[in-house]
């Protein structure tokens, strides 16, 4: 189901309009958009993204019940519109603030790898795995692992 996800602003105000112009430079195959040197990200945005501080307001989403602490990242509606039936399986669980792919491969994975990692998490999830992911998330916030 759709919900408003809270984040700290890390991009310029017209980022969505600029994204259309940058689509040819997308560095990820599939239903996601990623650019290592995305010109839409502000100077402060680079810092808060590097340390994942832009994600902290999502704790409000957790308190509201829209998200859990650990789970697949919530996609944008336009991304879901491009999903195959296989990829839609990642929508069967409550989305999370952090997840297995964020603490392992982060931006080094392409979209299909991210989906496979999310589905692996869904099949094997449990208290100990979630605890490990949360500990790794704190570690990554202190010593970043390739966020952009």
Residue by residue, pLDDT tens for the chain (148 residues) are 899 999 999 999 988 888 878 887 887 777 778 888 888 999 999 899 888 888 899 999 999 999 999 999 999 898 999 999 999 999 999 999 999 998 988 777 788 899 999 999 999 999 999 999 999 999 988 887 655 4
Spatial separation of the C-alpha atoms in residues 70 and 87, rounded to whole Å = 18
Which SS3 state, helix, strand or coil, does residue 134 take? helix
pLDDT at 36: 81
Instruction: Identify the H or E element spanning 69.
Output: strand 68-70
pLDDT at 5: 94
Spatial separation of the C-alpha atoms in residues 22 and 40, rounded to whole Å = 10
Q: Looking at the chain, how many residues does it have?
A: 148
Is the sign of the CA dihedral 133, 139, 141, 143 positive or negative? negative
């Amino acid at each position: 189901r759709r919900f408003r996800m809270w984040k700290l602003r890390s991009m310029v105000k017209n980022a969505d309009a600029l994204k259309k112009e940058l689509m040819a430079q997308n560095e990820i195959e599939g239903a996601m958009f990623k650019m290592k040197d995305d010109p839409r990200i502000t100077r402060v945005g680079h810092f808060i993204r590097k340390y994942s501080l832009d994600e902290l307001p999502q704790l409000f989403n957790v308190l509201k019940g829209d998200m859990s602490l650990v789970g697949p990242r919530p996609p944008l509606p336009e991304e879901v519109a491009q999903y195959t039936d296989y990829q839609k399986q990642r929508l069967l669980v409550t989305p999370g603030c952090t997840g297995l792919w964020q603490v392992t491969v982060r931006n080094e994975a392409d979209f299909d790898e991210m989906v496979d990692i999310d589905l692996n998490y869904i099949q094997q999830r449990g208290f100990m795995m979630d605890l490990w992911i949360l500990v790794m998330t704190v570690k990554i916030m202190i010593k970043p692992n390739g966020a952009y």
